[in-house]
Structure 1
């Protein structure tokens, strides 16, 4: 196959005067674990459902392996979908749910049984094969839904926030399961999620959506370290965003603290991640700010300090929790700093 496995060409969806998804073009390669990340209402689920054939696009085309599937119904597309609520038949066992798609295809009994056994082994549910859906835990139901989609061997597996209903510990366990399944079968997965940790854990490529538009796409590390705008920097991980003005190639963050930054005179945002900020007068940093410590939050292996600048702006600082006992009292004046290459300057929209 030449070219990407899945292509979206100017795909858009409108409901009357409301545009849910603006014209969107994406290229997703074979074996990608691709994630669409964004807040509720940004259009990510609508985009996924258009790919699966459950929502007709207002314009644009969908190609899978070079074939145009834009007008095909879901059952005729080389895609499978795992829904947020799983969509399992409660009166059927795990085995019967997994076999359902192959039964509709009138697959021979011997081949069907072998395929179901393979799927049960893949999702580690051999011991629960004959349990009814209400007798299964949330994580087990999620695995059944995954196996039911995978047994049809779709070229593209679509995952619509499949872990949203699980508790934190179980979600983390299922992250490992999904990674292992993706590696084992070598398939192409497309995940929709509002959970940035989930996306960073699972995906090798990410598209960030906001207001019905893809505002940035790339590798998770690139999106985290080089966000395209203030929205991405704030949505993907924690970020300090300091509004300022660039005048004659200089940005003044506070009296006596300036950054050299070539560019036109205009309002900008200076973005710095909490883990990049060093704390204390002994820190050897190029950029230094005086602040007052107003809060300290223990978060297990690390802690967050909330500090306030003289300008009234707030800075979040991440430190090792082992250092928390050595911190000055709340209300104390502190010195913060970071190296010149660790911040990012973004033009304000």
Structure 2
């Protein structure tokens, strides 16, 4: 029996004793009063017989009632205390901050399991919440992505010509701040990939260093031409045709190009300067700008949010009066899409967006 139970037992015993005394006093008053009213001789023998008879008939139910009442009072009190503690833990951040990180994680896990059930709660915690708490994922914020389709006169690069009748030109500007506290994050180099098919380079993009990829949709002849280039020639294509530029904290970075037929695409290896590696940054500011040819028959553009991202701002524009564009969102806020003048579609989300969310822009020719 713990201290709380002992205290409750003493309190119950005291209540029973007090009740017994009160009953005895009441019986004495009643018996004396009846004898006086009925003019009967009063005797202690007669009084004791009546007291014993009354005790047998009254005290047992009273004791049982007191025990049952005390039990339900304790249960209610324990529930009330539990509710107060739970409410304090949920709503009072100052109380929560006193707990260790491990205790907080256990509390989150237990809360989710109690709300969703053990199986679903455990699945949700291990698959989504635990990686965030343990810094396994990288985080981004202030994500801004501007895409603009234009028409350009026939353009030549070496012996290769990109015909105006076959290609649009797409200008892109992407910027965001990125959390780099993840222990798995490589602070020495990053990769940017361009692929000729949507399914290529996926194995490489699973690495944290691959922070951006883009589909470069060109026809089969141009794919063959690009795949036949040396790394040096491909560097010329990236610089002179794509005009690729990447900045970290407003500082342009150098890069090398890796061209490989086996991956049906190419990627850029970006070296992070030593002074940026040595600085203890919580976040780095990234900015990427480039332009690229895109086949006109590929009537879609995909914006994929690959990492947990807070505050997403996307603007998409196509050639006015030549295509009808529809934005298909893959997140739970369709009101975030707005149509601005000059056929600009703006998507703005001032909240967290989870990985694999995004927007697909599709279009067809006007009637």
TM range (shorter): under 0.3
Larger Rg: 2
Q: TM-score, normalised by structure 2?
A: 0.20
Larger helix fraction of residues = 2
